[in-house]
A and B are shown apart, each in its own frame.
Chain A
Amino acid sequence: MQIVDALSDRTGHGPLRALDPRLRIAAAALFALVVVSLSDRVALLTALGLAIALMLAARLPAVPTLRRMAAMDGFMLAILLMLPFTVPGTPIFAWGGFSASAQGLAKAVEILLKANAVVLVLLALVGSLDAVTLGHALARLRMPANLVQLLFFTVRYIGVIGEEYARLRTAMRARGFRPSNSLHTYRSIGYLLGMLLVRSLERSERILAAMRCRGFQGRFYPLDDFAYGRADALFAGLALMTFACLLIVDRVHVTAV
């Protein structure tokens, strides 16, 4: 199933495979913070270039990954499309009585570059991990144990519930259900989701009973042995230098303009 595939290990055999998951998370987070603080076009384009390089290094399939990166809510897209018309500045073209400003267009491009660079690095460094490994790494990075356990249960059962959903949807289709703009559709989908809730609550009771019977005391033992090695130190050093360069380029260009 597609969802389960996305949540399982997809690293392939790229050079990033051996990197410590904790380092991947930390690097992605730091990259995001650096990129969001940039404002120079050259620095942002460099950041996006780096993100694409990382995607290739992670051996992620290029086309689906780029499509995933570019997929944005229609809502976000509307905001970006309106920016040229709402930011005051030098008009570059007019459309239906509204004039678009160069500054607005620049702002929209800036947001596009930032958002896509961050998402791509996140997909390359963190998204290629197994979701369970991600949980263990977050636990080692001091994320509260409760939250990590919630993540584990969610990840574990998304696949199960997803399949249950698909089965119920098939059953509905077999009975001639076709989604349309009708109260009947909304009610049927509501009942479908209600059924999922009923089943998942019952399942959670069975899970809890099974865990109790095995003497669960509220702790998961991380099975992953994360080892921070020489390759990790090298990657960390390179990453820090790159981030510093990005920030310097940004400063220099901003003051020059």
Chain B
Amino acid sequence: MHIVDGVLGPPVLIGASLLAVAGVARGLSALDTESIPRAGLLTAVFFIASLVHVPIGPSSAHLMLTGLMGLLLGWAAFPAVLVGLLLQAAFFGFGGLTVIGANTLNLALPAVLIGLLARHVLARFDISPRSATLLVAGFFVGALSFGASALSVAGVLALSGSEFLAAARLILIVQIPVMLVEGAITAATLRLLLTVRPELLPAVAGDRLFATEHTQEA
């Protein structure tokens, strides 16, 4: 869901960019020398994941997995999304330049909010990696952040002009099956990750994924 240059009106463009800058700054403050390699590797995985096309009905869609980014990276999902979009725009010609703030915001904000919410849920309940509960949690993380991103895209379009309203509505309907698939794949991804590395579950839930190295040293 890349918006291209020339669609959004100036007030929307500026407002979204400012919010994106704030989110990126918040995310960067959570990263330090020790955690940047880990965040960079995760960003690379998510970049590769965004090139994977899965069949959906007669067509196919590419994955986003932004919900999982929010869960694993927290606020660092903002700079991670920005880096991904920058590379996609400059080297692959996807998206645009003046809209990069708006696109970052549309993808990262829902991801971070839902990811942080999911961390609370995971911290509160004792969930085993192979349980159905974890699958359900993963499904909702993936589906909801995808759905919220689609809503957010529709929102900035609608704010830019009423002529986009019909298109925005159509997008929301068309994206529903993609959202479900995104949820299913997120659930499977999370299950495999936590089954192989169960010690990550408390780290993710307690926002310590980027601090484990410190605690080992201490």
Chain A residues near B (Cβ < 8 Å) = 3, 6-7, 28-29, 32-33, 35-37, 65, 68-69, 71-76, 78-79, 82-83, 85-87, 104, 107, 110-111, 113-115, 118-120, 122-123, 126-127, 131, 134, 144, 146-147, 149-158, 160-162, 165, 179-181, 183, 185-191, 193-198, 200-201, 203-205, 207-208, 211, 216-218
A163 nearest CB neighbor, chain B only: B48
User: Do the beta carbons of B98 and A207 come within 8 Å of each other?
Assistant: no
Q: A104-B163, A157-B44, A190-B185 are in contact. Are A216 and B6 (CB under 8 A)?
A: no
Q: In this assembly, does B93 line the interface, its C-beta being within 8 Å of a C-beta of chain A?
A: yes
**B185 cross-chain contacts in A, Cβ below 8 A:** 186, 189-190, 193
CA A154 – CA B86 in complex, angstroms?
11
Q: A127-B90, A127-B93 are in contact. Are A72 and B4 (CB under 8 A)?
A: yes
Chain B residues near A (Cβ < 8 Å) = 1-7, 10, 13, 24-25, 28, 31-34, 36-45, 47-49, 51-52, 54-57, 59, 63, 65, 72, 79-80, 82-84, 86-87, 89-94, 96-98, 157, 163-167, 170-171, 174, 181, 184-193, 196-197, 200, 213
User: Do the beta carbons of B89 and A122 come within 8 Å of each other?
Assistant: yes
User: Do the beta carbons of A28 and B97 come within 8 Å of each other?
Assistant: yes
**B6 cross-chain contacts in A, Cβ below 8 A:** 35-36, 110-111, 113-115, 118
**A127 cross-chain contacts in B, Cβ below 8 A:** 90-93
Could you say which of A110, A158, A191 contacts B188, with CB atoms under 8 Å apart?
A: A191
User: Do the beta carbons of B56 and A191 come within 8 Å of each other?
Assistant: no
Return A194 CB to nearest CB of chain B, in Å: 3
User: Do the beta carbons of A197 and B42 come within 8 Å of each other?
Assistant: yes
User: Do the beta carbons of B36 and A150 come within 8 Å of each other?
Assistant: yes
